[in-house]
Amino acid sequence: MKIGDLARETGVSVRLLRYYEEQGLLVSERAGGGHRRYAADAAAVVRHIRTLLAAGLPTRVIRDLLPCVAGDGPELEPCVIDHLREQLGGLDERISGLQETRTALAALLETTERAGVGG
């Protein structure tokens, strides 16, 4: 499959498909003239990449998880459960940090409004 065909089938831009390839997420072979050719399952791989990206996983993690995708859906082999838990824990820590930052900013705003400054 040519890159343009893959882009049309998946709704992902050619530029983004090239990026996925640069990141080691997608594999192509070079045909005559240097044109990229993708395997028949490339559209499914792109859908898996998009699902994993939507789950907040960075491409470096996705590269490690892609070989563990089970079937056509977003399911992964059980061997990656610890890795997924680690990623979820990292998100929880970031959310907690953002909540603390929000609380501090809200307090600053409230203090400033009470003092009659700004606004």
The CATH number for 39's domain is 1.10.1660.10
pLDDT of res. 30: 87
68 shares a domain with 17: yes
Q: Residue 71 pLDDT more than 80?
A: no
Please report the pLDDT score of residue 117 as a whole number. 60
Same domain membership, residue 51 and residue 6: yes
Q: Using DSSP, state whether 39 is helix, strand or coil.
A: coil
- 71 and 14 share one domain: yes
Q: Number of structural domains, the chain?
A: 2
pLDDT for 39 equals: 92
Strand partners, 2: 37
Give the long-range contacts of residues 26-29, CB within 8 A, separation 24 or more: 28/3
Tell me which residue range forms the domain holding 111. Answer: 78-119
Q: State whether residue 7 is helix, strand or coil.
A: helix
| 14 touches 20 (CB < 8 A) | no
Whether 35 and 11 share a structural domain:
yes
Single pTM value for the model:
0.77
The percentage of the chain sitting over the pLDDT mark of 70, rounded to a whole number, equals: 97
Does one domain contain both 15 and 70? Answer: yes
